[in-house]
Amino acid sequence: MPSPRSTTGAASYYFQGQSQTSSNTHEFTGAYDDNWQATDTSDIATVVWSPCGELRNFNINTELRANAGTSDTKETTSFIAMDSTDGDVSTTYHFAWKECPPAEK
């Protein structure tokens, strides 16, 4: 990616049916021609928890965006991808767990 272009990678996380969403954004700027890696960490106050006693899908939405900036788009191309030309792609998720309080009778 020739300079002065930039790319953005973003992800949001939420449980089905909940409005509370945790999100992270990563910016990559300048000339770049290599594999990339981003790590999302969340402050404990922003962790999204599943409702106790309910089975809900955990949704992860990801977004990648390339911005040409002031580059001449007729002469150059910018792109960012989640896959890799060498076939070495991995995504690892770490989940936090907490015990639900006992159900009231």
Domain of 28?
A: 1-105
Number of structural domains (the chain) is 1
Q: How many of the other CB atoms lie within 10 Å of CB of 2?
A: 16
Structure tokens at 9: 């990678």
Please say whether the beta carbons of 27 and 80 come within 8 A: no
Give residue 33's pLDDT. 76
Q: Residue 64 and residue 58: Cα distance in Å, rounded?
A: 20
Q: What is the pLDDT of residues 30-58, one digit of tens each?
A: 777 777 788 887 777 777 788 888 888 98
pLDDT in the model for residue 84: 67
Question: Are the C-beta atoms of residues 70 and 42 closer than 8 Å to each other?
Answer: no
pLDDT beneath 50, residues of the chain: 1-2, 4
* Cα–Cα distances in angstroms (integers) from residue 61 to residues 15, 23, 40, 67, 98, in the given order: 11, 9, 13, 20, 23
